[in-house]
Structure formats: C-alpha cells, structure tokens
Structure 1
C-alpha cells in the first residue's frame, strides 16, 4: 500500500450501492473472527491467544472479546494502516509492550488538485471524504455527477477558492464540512439547491465577509457552525432560510462587533445559540424577540457594556443565560422578569457599579439566589468603598439614600413666595426648619426604617454653639444662603448640609450616626494650630526636664553612696 492510500482514513470512497459481501476467504478472515463487508472485524473465544495478523486490508475496526490474549506485542498492530478503533475486552491481558501503539508517523495524502472528471463515473457514491489533504481549489464541475452524494467532508485542506455553483448538483447532500481551510470569501448562492442539508460547517476560515445571497432553502438543517473567522458583521438574512435550525454555534469570532437586528428572525425552532467570545459591544433590543424555543443562550466573553431592558422578553422559556466576562456595570432591574423558566444565570467577571443603579438588580439576585450559579463571584468593582462586596449581600436598606432628591433652585425657579429648598420622595421639608448644631460632637438620628424620613443637620462656619434657626422666606434670602453653602454629605440615609468647608468624620453605632465637624475658617484653624504646636512644645519641655532631673538624681545618689 503506497503513501497515497495509506495512513488514517484520508481519502475514503464509500460505494453504498455496491453489493454487500462477507469475507469467507479463510486467508483473509481468521477462523475465530467475523469479518464484515464494511471493514469491521470481531473475534471471540478462548482459541484467540494473539492479536490476529491476517485481516482484510480494509479493516478499520477490530474487536477482541472473551479471548485468552495475555500480551500485546510490539508489532501486533503494525501494517493495519486503516485501523481506527481497537477494542480488547474480557481477556487475560497482563502486559502491553511500550511500543505496542507506536505505529510511527502516519502516512498522509498530499492531494493539491483533483481532475474535473475524477468522480464522473461514481454516480451512486453516497459519502466522499477528502479531508487532511492540501487541496487549494474546488473547480467547476468537480461534483456534477455525484447526484446521490449524502456526505461531503472537505475539512483540513488549503482551499482558498470555490468555483461558483460548485455544489449545485448535490441536491441530496445532508452533511457538508468546509471547516479549517483558507477561504476569505464565498461566492454568491454557493449553498443553493441543497434542501436536505442537516449540518453545515464553515468554521476556522479567515472569512472577511459573506454575500447577501448565500444560503438557499434549508428547512431540514439542524446544526450550523460559523466560528473562528475574521467577520466583523454578517448579512441580516443569513439564517432566513434555516427554519429548522436547532443549534447555532456563532462564536470565537474575535472581530465580530455587531449583529443586524433581524438576524435571528426566522429561527423559531432554535434551542441553542452561542455568541460567546466575540467582540460584541451592543445588542439590538429585538435581537432575540423571535426565538420562542430557545433554551441555551451564551453571551459570555464579549465587550457588552449595557443591555436593553427588553432584550430577553421574547425568550420566556430560556433555561440558561451566560453573561459572564463582559463589561457590564449594571442591568435594568426587571430585565429577567419574563424569564420565569430561567434555571442558570452567570454574571461573574463584570465590573459591577454598586451605586443606586444596581439596587433593583441586587434585590432580584437576592430573591433568586439559586438561579445565579456564580453568585459568589458577582462582585462590586466600584465605588471604591464597595469593592469586592458580593452584589447579593447588599441590603436594600443601604439604598435608602437613593430615594432622596436634592433640589437646588435657581433664581428663575423661585418667586417671592416661600419655596422648599430640599425634597425627598417620602416627604417634603418645609421652608422653615429648625435644626440644632454644635461644633464638637453633634448626634444625628437616622431615619426610621419604616418611614425613611430625611434628617438634616446644618452647621455654621463660625462654630456657634447656640441653636440656630434657618428660615428662608424670600428669593434674596435663598440666593444668599445658596451662595454660602459649600458642602453636602450623605451618611447612610442621613443628609448633612454644611456651611463652609469642613473636615467630617462619621461612624454608625446602635442605629445612630455620629458626625464630627471641624470648621476650617482662618481664625479657628490658626487657634487649633497654635494649640497643637503649644502642646507639642510643652510635651517636649517636660521630657527634657524629666531627663535633666533624672540625671541630677543619679549624681546625688552617687555622692551619698560612694564606691570603695
């Protein structure tokens, strides 16, 4: 057997229409074996003590069952060039030679071009495998006479060019594989006239674009693989004629940035859609709206920054959604409201922003803890004080401040009548508010969890220790007040307004918020600085004085107790 027909199954022509036969020739089939016409050999019984050597030349499967084989020797599997599967069960095997399965480098075919008429006489051929070769071109007319062909495997070649209509005669074809080639483009209407096609693969080709008219009517197709390409987008009608599609693997396209809004419009039977590991930044709101049968949706490992509120509304029966490893900072709170069948949701490895915008999502995750399968890794990345907190651990009470609306009116917003300066969603602060301020340790009582009232503390830059009243009655007074106000602080559910820049420290204990204000006007700052320097100087003087006194005391003790 020469190099062009040896090796693993590289170039196989299966003529199903040829008469079936069995290997009755004892010189070709051992006595304890059954040799089938399709190349399968099965040997059974105690009389088999070694791996049979004399086998039909087309043997691809060798099964040994219930034998007395104890050793597989170094050369037992040599010269079985087409053998794909070897099975040894229920035997007395105790030794396998280290080189038993080392058959040397496989012999491969190096077909670069096929004559146009090479298959003309094979009108009954049903399977044609020409993979792992070096074919560069599929020229016109090459498959014209293969009218009964059911399966065509052309993967792992170097095909760069397809002749127009090269597959048009294959109307009975059910499987076509063109993966792992060098195609950068495909001619228009290349996949027309194949209504029985059930599986199509064109992945691992450096495709740059696809024509508008590419796929003909394929109502029976079930699986389509289109990944590892250089596509940046695809025609909006690419899958229109694939109404029977069950599984679409459209992933690992590192340059794929956008998808047409109606791309999946006609895939009413689709159950699995994989869009993972692309370069998607945004998704159209209606992209999945016509996929009622979808069960598995993979969107992980993309560049998604946001999702439309209704993006999942059309896939109510979906069981799995994977959104991990994107750039999502938040999601609309009711984005999964219609997905009542959802059983597995992945959200990890996103830079979640745990401010007010994530409140509703955090609440949803807490209520559907069993659905978010990676909840332990759904972490806050911002703001800094929330970093590494789990989103599902954020209590709803922390977001009470989100209910507050602070209103700073302009001159045109106010008339001569009294206007409220601050409002909240729960209540409105009257225009006259009396608040107590101190310059040392004022206490702020937080709002009740039941009423969520808004409490306000005001302080003056002069540091007055007496109670102060704040009454705004006219536009001029409001404007004057606004011009002096410079700081606003929010601690938990308490709003603190201060006049003048202040250094603020706060903590919470037993349901109370404690706030310390340090006025920073020039007089107070100078006074405090003087006190600070005075205390440091006094302390240093005392230390030096103590050292001096200790030294005198030591000398006095030496004089009173002279050493002899």
Structure 2
C-alpha cells in the first residue's frame, strides 16, 4: 500500500513540475497548454520563439512579422509534429528549413505571400500527411516538388496563381486522399495528371479557366467520391469521361460553357448523390443522359437555354425528393410523362420558366408532392383535374401568370394549406363565380389576397376577388343587346323603341322578346334582371350596384355638346390658374409696400 502511495505522489510531483516548467518557459506573446499546444500571436514576432516548453508538439504562429523561415528557425523543434504559420506575409522559405523536423505530420502555410518555392524544399518531410499552401501567390510548382511526400494524404493548393501543373507533379502521391487545386488560373490539364492517385477521395479543380476535359483524365480514380469542376469555361465533355468513377457521390459541372452533353455521360454512377449542370447555355439534352441514380435526393437544372427536355430525363432518379427545374426563360414545353417516375418527390419548382400550358397528367403520379411552384410563367389556363392526384399538396404558387380564371373544383381533392394567386389578370365576370366562392371559404389559405385583383371587365378593375358580391355573380345567363334594337314579331310600333321613363317602366308590362332574338354586342352586367333597351343617342358607360339599386351613368355622345363641355372645363381651369397667379402678384406688391413703410419708420 505504501508503495502505491509513493508512486502516486511521484507521478503527481512530476506532473506539477512539468506544468510549472512549461508555464515558466512560455513566451509572453504565446499561450502554452499542458497538452503541448502553443499559440503565438503578435506583429513583434519575427522568428520562431526560442523559449518554448520542451514538450511542444504543435506550434501555431498567427499574424506575425515572420516573413522568412530561416535554416535554423525550426532547429529546436525536434518533438513538433504540427506547425502552422498563417497571416504573416511569409515570402521566403530556406531550402534547408525543414531538415530539422522530418517528423512533421502537418504543415500549414495558409494566407501568406509565397510566390516561389525551392524545388526540393519539402523533401525531408517523408512523414508529412497534410500540406496547406492555399491562399498564397504561387505561380508555378515543379514536377519533383512533392516527390518525397509519399505519406501525404491532404494537399491544398487553392487560391493561388497557378496557370499550369506538370503532368508528373502528383505522380508519387499514392496515398493522397484530398487534392484541391481550385481557384487558380489553370487552362488545361494533362490526361495523366491524376492517373496514379488511386486512393484519391476528393478532387477540386473548380474556378479555373479550363476550356475542356481531356479523354481519360479520370482513369484510375477508382475511389473518387467528390469531383468539383464547376465555374470553369468547359465547352465540351469527352464521351464516357466519367464512367471510371463508379463510387462517385458528388459531381458539379455547373457554371461552365456547355451547350451540349454527350449521350450517356452520367451512366455507371449508381451512388451519385449530387449532380449539378445548371448555369450552362444548354441548347438540348440527349434522350439518354442519366443512368441509374436511386440515391439522389435533389436535382437542380436552371439558367439554361433549353426549350424542352427529354421525356425520360428523370426516370432513373426514383429517390428524388426535390426537383428544381426553374429559371429557364426559354423553357416553354414539358413532355407529358416527364415526372412519371418520381414517387418520392416532395417539392417541384417550375417557377420563372416560359411555360404556356400544362398537360392534364403532368402531376398525376406525384402522390407525395407537398410544394408545387408554378409562379412567373405564362400560363393562360389550367386543366380541370391537373391537381386531382396531389392529395398531400400544402403549397401552390400560381402568381405572376396570365390566368383569367380557374376551373370549378380545381382544388376539391387537395388539402391545400397555402395558395398564391396574385399578379394574374383575373376576369371578374360570371365565369369566376366558383373561384370567388372558394376564396371566400378558404381565406386562411390565400396569401396576398389583397393583390388578387380583377383586370377585366373595365368596371371591375382593381377590385379584389373576395370583395365581389354574390348578387353580382348570380345571374350568369343574362343576354346582351346593341344600342339600337331590332324589331320583333311582338312589336306593334313602327318606329324604333325608346327608353321608357321610370314610371312607365314600373307600370308597363315587360316586352315579350326572346333572348336569342336579340343581337348582342355589349354585356348586360349581372345586377340587371330585365331587358334594357337604350335608344340611340347615349352610350352606356358604367353602373354601380348599391342597396338594391342600380345606378347607371351615361356620357352624351353628341360631338357639339361634348366639345362645349370640354371647352368649359378648360376655361374653368384657365380661370383658376389666372386667379392664383393674380393673387400671388398682389401678395408680392403688398409685401413690397410693407417693406417700404418699414424703411421709412426706420429712418425716423
């Protein structure tokens, strides 16, 4: 028992000694942790600190003035395995700088001013696993720069100024798993550049100036899962260039210059989880493009020049949950069976295209669809049963189209929670009665209801649909008449009919005229329950319905009278303007006289 107590005390003593020793040796600008991590910050640091704890394993130098790593800078760091020097404007590394630290596993030189490196500067680092050279000013790398880094797993060269990469630059990095050379100025890559990287998992060559992909450039990358090629200037893709990538999960080809894509380009990639080809000037897509992709949950295809797409484009994406086929301002037609094989689809965005019509069966198999965005197209009408099978639909956006009406009971089979109908030219005649009724019974579901307005007929303009009264829409079979009526067999007078007075209209019987015997030009609005005959001489302009009365407004049609009224109006306006100017001039004279009197009193 005494033996164990003595051992415990000895271990505790050594721990305390190490703790106090490490704190005593820690420089003033550094923070030293007991686990061997040291961080030093300050622009007064010009070289690696000399007074560091002997058990320093990781040294971080941040925002220093250490512009050069000298030959002796790392001489005393024989236990250090991780070294980083960032945000320090480092511009030079001595060719022998790393000879004293062959045990290094991680070297981070991010965000400095390195423009050139000695060809063999990293050769002593045979145990190095991570090398970060990103966000510097590197313009070139040599073919043998990484030749001795056989243990390297992560290499980051992004955000530099590389215009080319030697074809053998990565040939010895057989253990490399992640390579990032994105955000450079690369215009071309050799077909053999990546051929020996059999363990590579992620490859990023995005945001360069690549104009094409070379045939066979991905051969050998049998373990690649993430490939980023977006934001280049790629105009052509070799056939079957992606076929060796059978384990690929993520492929980004968006924001390039692709107009055409070869047939079956995306075959033999059954594990593909993400594919982007949007923001390309695509003119057409081949009938056979997508292979079996059951694991892909979402797909984006927007900002293209497509007019239509193949009917089987999404047929192999049975696991798709979100499909964004939007912002294609030339896309005017969709094949009827385009969405036939998407049983798991929950969101479909077709907004901001140029769709003019939809097939009645477009959405018939989307039983799990919850969100449907059709806004900002040019739809003029919708088939009656187009939403019939969408029992799970909760959000429908139809705003910004050319819809004048919707079929009766179009939402009957849906549990729509939210619908947007604004910015459409709704025709508020009798035919809109069913839609108005639905809106009034589902006010909670209609967003922006104040913007769901009538655009026709003229007397209803700017009225909201939910403000239309039932009595205005109850008489949808009323006939129409012309200003001068035709004679009928029941007419006993030889002259044309004249408009009866209010007393005569109340006492005289209704003329026995059949509706189909009257020629029609002007619509009689719903509030009129009798036939109205207007003699030639006045034009019907507008009517309002209020408290059971119909108020009819007429405009004289005689040119002389109309001209006299217009002249009188102009004369009154001119007289008003003259009086205002005269008043202003009188006020000016009055002020001037008041100032003169004030000056006379001032002299006294």
Q: How many angstroms does 1:514 deviate by? A: 6.3
Q: Which has the higher strand share?
A: 1
Task: Choose 216-225 or 202-211, whichever is displaced more.
Answer: 216-225
Counterpart mapping for 1:383-402 below 5 A: 383-402=457-476
Question: Cα distance 1:145–1:399, how it changes in 2: closer, same or farther (>3 A)?
Answer: same
> Scaled by the length of structure 2, what TM-score is found?
0.59
Alignment match, 1:363: 437
Alignment match, 1:346: 420
CA distance in 1, matches of 2:388, 2:421: 18
CA distance in 2, matches of 1:509, 1:358: 21
Task: Choose 287-296 or 495-504, whichever is displaced more.
Answer: 495-504
Select which of 435, 441, 450 maps to 2:502: 441
> Does the 8 Å contact 1:149/1:170 carry over to 2?
yes
CA distance in 2, matches of 1:55, 1:156: 39
Q: Could you say what secondary structure the match of 1:496 adopts?
A: coil
CA distance in 1, matches of 2:556, 2:386: 52
Alignment match, 1:77: 87
Counterpart mapping for 1:76-475 below 5 A: 77-79=87-89, 82=110, 107=160, 108-340=183-415, 342-404=416-478, 439-442=500-503, 467=508, 470=511
Select which of 527, 530, 536 maps to 1:492: 527
Q: How many angstroms does 1:518 deviate by? A: 12
Alignment match, 1:17: none
Question: Cα distance 1:248–1:52, how it changes in 2: closer, same or farther (>3 A)?
Answer: farther
- Unaligned segments of structure 2, at least 5 residues: 1-25, 49-61, 67-85, 90-107, 113-134, 139-158, 161-182, 483-487, 492-497, 565-604
Task: Choose 257-266 or 307-316, whichever is displaced more.
Answer: 307-316
> Does the 8 Å contact 1:487/1:500 carry over to 2?
no
Q: Could you say what secondary structure the match of 1:401 adopts?
A: coil
Question: Cα distance 1:53–1:518, how it changes in 2: closer, same or farther (>3 A)?
Answer: closer
CA distance in 1, matches of 2:274, 2:412: 35
Q: How many angstroms does 1:224 deviate by? A: 1.1
Alignment match, 1:21: none
CA distance in 2, matches of 1:33, 1:138: 51
CA distance in 1, matches of 2:523, 2:324: 53
> Does the 8 Å contact 1:484/1:499 carry over to 2?
no
Q: Could you say what secondary structure the match of 1:385 adopts?
A: helix
Question: Cα distance 1:121–1:325, how it changes in 2: closer, same or farther (>3 A)?
Answer: same
Q: How many angstroms does 1:439 deviate by? A: 3.7
Question: Cα distance 1:365–1:329, how it changes in 2: closer, same or farther (>3 A)?
Answer: same
Alignment match, 2:536: 501
Aligned Cα RMSD in Å?
A: 4.4
Task: Choose 399-408 or 189-198, whichever is displaced more.
Answer: 399-408
> Does the 8 Å contact 2:340/2:365 carry over to 1?
yes
> Does the 8 Å contact 1:315/1:339 carry over to 2?
yes
Q: How many angstroms does 1:73 deviate by? A: 8.9
More RCO (CA 8 Å, sep 6+): 1
Q: Could you say what secondary structure the match of 2:396 adopts?
A: strand
CA distance in 2, matches of 1:166, 1:195: 16
Q: How many angstroms does 1:274 deviate by? A: 1.0
Q: Could you say what secondary structure the match of 1:370 adopts?
A: helix
Alignment match, 1:511: 548
> Does the 8 Å contact 2:41/2:64 carry over to 1?
no
Q: Could you say what secondary structure the match of 2:303 adopts?
A: coil
> Does the 8 Å contact 1:440/1:517 carry over to 2?
no
Alignment match, 1:89: none
> Does the 8 Å contact 1:400/1:493 carry over to 2?
no
Q: 1:334-391: CA deviations, max 9, x gaps?
A: 1111111x11111111111111121110110111111111111111111111111111
> Does the 8 Å contact 2:499/2:535 carry over to 1?
no
Q: Could you say what secondary structure the match of 2:533 adopts?
A: strand
Question: Cα distance 1:508–1:78, how it changes in 2: closer, same or farther (>3 A)?
Answer: same
Q: How many angstroms does 1:250 deviate by? A: 0.9
Q: How many angstroms does 1:240 deviate by? A: 0.5
Q: How many angstroms does 1:113 deviate by? A: 1.5
CA distance in 2, matches of 1:55, 1:444: 108
Q: Could you say what secondary structure the match of 2:475 adopts?
A: helix
Q: How many angstroms does 1:116 deviate by? A: 1.0
Alignment match, 1:97: none
Q: 1:409-466: CA deviations, max 9, x gaps?
A: xxxxx9xxx99x9xxxxxxxxxxxxxxx984334878xxxxxxxxxxxxxxxxxxxx8
Question: Cα distance 1:349–1:506, how it changes in 2: closer, same or farther (>3 A)?
Answer: closer
Question: Cα distance 1:239–1:515, how it changes in 2: closer, same or farther (>3 A)?
Answer: closer
Q: How many angstroms does 1:82 deviate by? A: 4.1
Counterpart mapping for 1:473-484 below 5 A: none
CA distance in 2, matches of 1:33, 1:54: 25
Q: How many angstroms does 1:297 deviate by? A: 1.1
